[in-house]
Amino acid sequence: MLNSTRNIKIALGILVIFSIVILSIYYWLGGFNQLEIQTVSMNDYYVVGHYFEGTYKSDTVSSYFMEIKQMIETRKLNGILTIVYYQEPIGKRGMMKSFIGAALEDTTVTIPPGYEQRLIQVDKVVQAKVDSHVAVMPNPEKINRRLREHAQGQGLELVNFSIERYLSDWEVITEIPVVP
């Protein structure tokens, strides 16, 4: 009996230490950071990249994402990694319609061969800023729901697409434009 009580105490001690370590890592990654939601005025986006329609699990999505990210890192495109979701991934298959590219800072640049350019017209957006590592960020459905709740509280009507701008692995901005 004494041995089983001791074993229970040891197991509980290990469980407490393990929980503290996991919570510390989650905290360090920004898992407890709150979404910053606001309505802001914006300028139009000029996005250069690739249109994609299909499942989000497709190798094409990740290759487009990594291709654009590399083009930005090597300064072949001067912009911010951006995904425009015309249809968010829904359901088990995760079908989506999106434009994966770079929101250009200089719109007079020559577009690389094989890329297309889109003008995303915005005047005002409802914006959520997340400061945490992508591993612990809230999922897009939760972010979009919070953005729509914010807009409803402000009496704003939103368009039916969203924009994600990846400033870094630690900072993502999600926006839904307000209907003019």
pLDDT digits (tens, 9 = 90+) for 125-168: 999 998 877 777 777 788 889 999 999 999 999 999 999 999 88
Statement: 36-177 belongs to CATH 3.30.1330.10: no
Q: Where in the chain are the domains?
A: 1-30, 36-177
Residue 155's Cα: distance from chain center in Å?
25
pLDDT digits (tens, 9 = 90+) for 100-118: 999 998 777 788 889 999 9
The phi, psi pair for 8, rounded to 5°, reads: -65, -45
Q: pLDDT at residue 96 above 80?
A: yes
pLDDT digits (tens, 9 = 90+) for 6-43: 888 888 888 888 888 888 887 777 777 788 899 999 99
pLDDT digits (tens, 9 = 90+) for 38-78: 999 999 999 999 999 988 778 888 899 999 999 999 988 88
